Amino acid sequence: MGLFIRSLLSQQPRHVWRAYSTAASDITVKAMVYSSYGKPSEVLKWHTYPLDPLTDDTVHVRFLASPINPADVNQVQGAYPLKPAFEQLGDTKAAVGGNEGVAQVIATGKNVNGLQVGDQVVMARSGYGTWRTHAAGPVTDFQKLPPSDKTSVIQKATLTVNPCTAYRMLKDFAPLKPGDYVIQNGGNSAVGQAVIQIAKAWGLKTVNVVRNRPEIDSLRQELMDLGATYVVTDEELGTHEMRTTMKGWFGGKPPLLGLNCVGGKSATEMARYLGHNGHYVTYGAMARAPLALPASMLIFKNITFHGFWMTRWTDQNNEEDRYKMFEDLIGLMDKGALGEPRWTKVEWNEDSMKHAVDAGIQGFAQGKQIVFPTSS
């Protein structure tokens, strides 16, 4: 894949002449869109339409890489809290699929400040469709990324969901200092792996709970190689032996931060390991089971329980806050402290996109599925 990525980035931005022009666009956008909610393989369709003309106050971008995330699928199904508006795209009123991706500026209107041709950007607002070749809009639609020649296009395309979620949860809820422990379930998830790497870079220790499986030894080694301090299974979590073991690990300083993306019985067990005045953050519910909380955790241990949704944080914070977060994360990536996620390439055509979405629903995808809309 390395040669493919280098080839993608070496392509010079086309239509640079358009930077000071308001002429009608000659670019045809190719996109995966939906005009109603439902089963993605049935409602998603390939659509082409003319890119809106550049104006004095807008920019044109081309998409370099866009992931297919579970939340994107839920959005198409109509099962996600965020529902983008159906907009007029040529002769069709529809929404473009996808929420995450990296694009490159190929044209700017004469009144545009802060972006120039060649800049790489992510989307500044939630629900902005990224499964398309090009987009046009005001500068406020896009967030410039810090410059970097070491961070890959894959890392930039997958920056705004999982690494940002891990970063914010580690930073915003408990006053952690080097040497402190964090406990999390879903340790092998994309967010979980980002937590492990960021925590290690910041001098924090992690206890990572994963579901037991036949290949548990290889998974444990994989997470340890990323920087995990300890890896335990959900079955071990509730045993007397593990409680004794963890007391020895913590040395009288139990974790003050727990991160939950699973729910159910094991998530309740994990909360028992938090120290007094700890914080327990739930950002997912993969087990689709409720989180039961004994009253003693609230009354006697004064544990605070939070929910976290990266979309809400993005919508409630300004460009400067987001840019500082991106600077920190890309800085870690540049140093090799936050690696590229496992990923597979999805061909940019209707059949491949629908197949990839179905694979994601059924759990057959191996790592991040990523499409490269303008690679050809």
Q: What is the pLDDT of residue 1?
A: 57
List residues bridging with 93 in a β-sheet: 88
Q: What is the pLDDT of residue 14?
A: 43
Average of per-residue pLDDT across 339-364: 87
Residue span(s) of the chain under CATH 3.90.180.10 come to 14-158+340-371
Residue span(s) of the chain under CATH 3.40.50.720 come to 162-311
Query: Quick check: is 283 catalytic?
Result: no
pLDDT, greater one: 22 or 43: 43
Closest by CA to 222, choosing from 201, 203, 258, 197, is 197
Confidence tier at 13 by pLDDT (50, 70, 90): very low
pLDDT digits (tens, 9 = 90+) for 292-335: 999 999 999 999 999 999 999 999 999 999 999 999 999 999 99
- DSSP letters along 295-337, please? HHHHHTS--EEEE--HHHHHHHS-HHHHHHHHHHHHHHHHTTS
- Say which of 34, 80, 167, 181 is annotated catalytic: 80
Closest by CA to 371, choosing from 92, 100, 9, is 100
Q: What is the pLDDT of residue 365?
A: 55
> What are the residues whose beta carbons fall under 8 Å from the beta carbon of 246, sequence distance 6 or more?
207, 254, 273
pLDDT at 346 over 90: yes
Average of per-residue pLDDT across 76-105: 95
pLDDT at 4 over 60: no
Q: What is the pLDDT of residue 8?
A: 58
Q: What is the pLDDT of residue 20?
A: 42
pLDDT, greater one: 29 or 357: 29
- 162-311 maps to which CATH number? 3.40.50.720
Q: What is the pLDDT of residue 12?
A: 44
Average of per-residue pLDDT across 23-38: 89
Pick the CATH number of 14-158+340-371 from 3.90.180.10, 3.40.47.10, 1.10.1060.10, 1.10.540.10: 3.90.180.10
pLDDT digits (tens, 9 = 90+) for 134-155: 999 999 999 999 999 899 999 9
Average of per-residue pLDDT across 201-225: 97
pLDDT at 214 over 80: yes
Q: What is the pLDDT of residue 126?
A: 85
pLDDT at 376 over 70: no
> What are the residues whose beta carbons fall under 8 Å from the beta carbon of 302, sequence distance 6 or more?
276, 277
CB 228 within 8 A of CB 240: no
Identity of the residue numbered 326: F
What is the average pLDDT score of the chain?
92
Q: What is the pLDDT of residue 17?
A: 39
